[in-house]
Amino acid sequence: MKAILLAGGKGTRLRPLTVHTPKPIVPIFNRPFLYYQIDLLRQVPEIDEVILSLNYQPRRIEEIFGDGDDLGLKLRYVVEPMPLGTAGAVRYAGDSLTESVVVFNGDVLTEVDLGAVLAMHRERKARATIVLTPVENPRAYGLVETDAKGNIKRFLEKPGEDEITCNTINAGIYVLEPETFDRIPKDTAWSIERSFFPSLIERGETFVAYVYDGYWIDIGTPAKYLQVHRDIMDGRYAAPPFAGAVKKAWVAPGARIDEGAELHGPCFIDEGATIKAGARILPYSVIGRQSHVEEGASVEGAVVWANGWIGREASVKGSILGRNCHIGRNAILESPVVLGDKTVITDYSRL
């Protein structure tokens, strides 16, 4: 059985972090995000190959993951000739498939039981199954309405107050039958939500929902990206190195913590990082590989990617710093500041 990961987006909502780093390999702590999705797919023994549908900086992704030997799954790379949309990408990547395929949006982190989703799909003999997740504020999303038997009735894009009949949204995870792909035009930008799924409803085909109310998040905005780190540190999503060690200050063996430095958990200090005397690493902070935090500096609720430099007496709060950023002495960054790679903030600046 195959899975398709739709990982071709440019990650525009995360810019400037994604100018040089495709969204699928944006780090969560010190691990590219795509690893977390592959971990979930590995829990289904039937899935023996993952097809990565790429478009933006595909070589960067392939350099990290290779052929999948280290993961126990075969990886295959399919590069779209142009952006084809969610349905167009599925058709392009899965045109030769003959059995049920799991499709995953490239920015979703979840603990859904894919085996249970597959079981429902087969039990209902569905042409398509979509995972839905409930949200607290349905006004902010496009909603998916079902009947009492879990059949999909309609999709509501940005519903008005009087149109809200449910609180379930598309979770970006599907099981599809390849014989339905012929309705997706070849080499054409086509939406799975706006065009492909409505065609199933119009034709009266079996299109069912699996409602999942566990952990689910779309990491595609700076706020959600920061939230993922908090959720893992708090144990809301179980992942190393905080699985079984929530609320702790996690320090890599190769990090250097000077006497007099303060670490307030939960926080994460990666390999080769240096925390100088008098520096304060406050809760929900991530200090990336080979980063340096000078005397008297403080980092709170911020994510600092590899090779960052936080100058003496500087303060970084609730922000995200790309690779090789330099924050000058006594500079202050208040949330939410997002800096791209190699950004320099001069001494005494305030953002």
pLDDT in tens, 236-251: 999 989 887 777 899 9
23 is catalytic: no
Residue with tokens 């982190």, as numbered in its chain: 109
Q: Is there a single domain that holds both residue 13 and residue 157?
A: yes
Q: Is there a single domain that holds both residue 214 and residue 228?
A: no
Which of 158, 186, 247, 342 is catalytic? The answer is: 158
Q: Are 248 and 155 in contact (CB under 8 A)?
A: no
pLDDT above 70 covers a percentage of the chain that reads 98
pLDDT in tens, 279-292: 999 999 999 999 99
CATH number at residue 61: 3.90.550.10
Q: What is the spatial distance between Cα 298 and Cα 315, in angstroms, rounded to a whole number?
A: 5
Q: What is the spatial distance between Cα 92 and Cα 188, in angstroms, rounded to a whole number?
A: 9
Q: How many domains does the chain have?
A: 2
Helix axes 58-65, 34-41, angle to 10 degrees: 60
Rounded to the nearest 10°, the torsion over CA 236, 239, 242, 244 is 80
Say which residue, 210 or 140, is predicted with more confidence.
210
The answer to whether residue 315 is domain-embedded is yes
Q: Does the pLDDT value for residue 164 go beyond 90?
A: no
pLDDT above 90 covers a percentage of the chain that reads 59
Which residue among 218, 248, 268 closes a domain? 218
pLDDT in tens, 57-78: 878 888 888 877 778 788 999 9
Question: How large is the average pLDDT for residues 188-207?
Answer: 89
Q: Is there a single domain that holds both residue 198 and residue 281?
A: no
Domain, as residue range, for 164 = 2-218
* 245 phi and psi angles, rounded to 5 deg: -140, 45
Q: What is the pTM of this model?
A: 0.91
Report pLDDT for 140.
67
pLDDT in tens, 25-56: 899 999 999 999 999 999 899 998 999 998 88
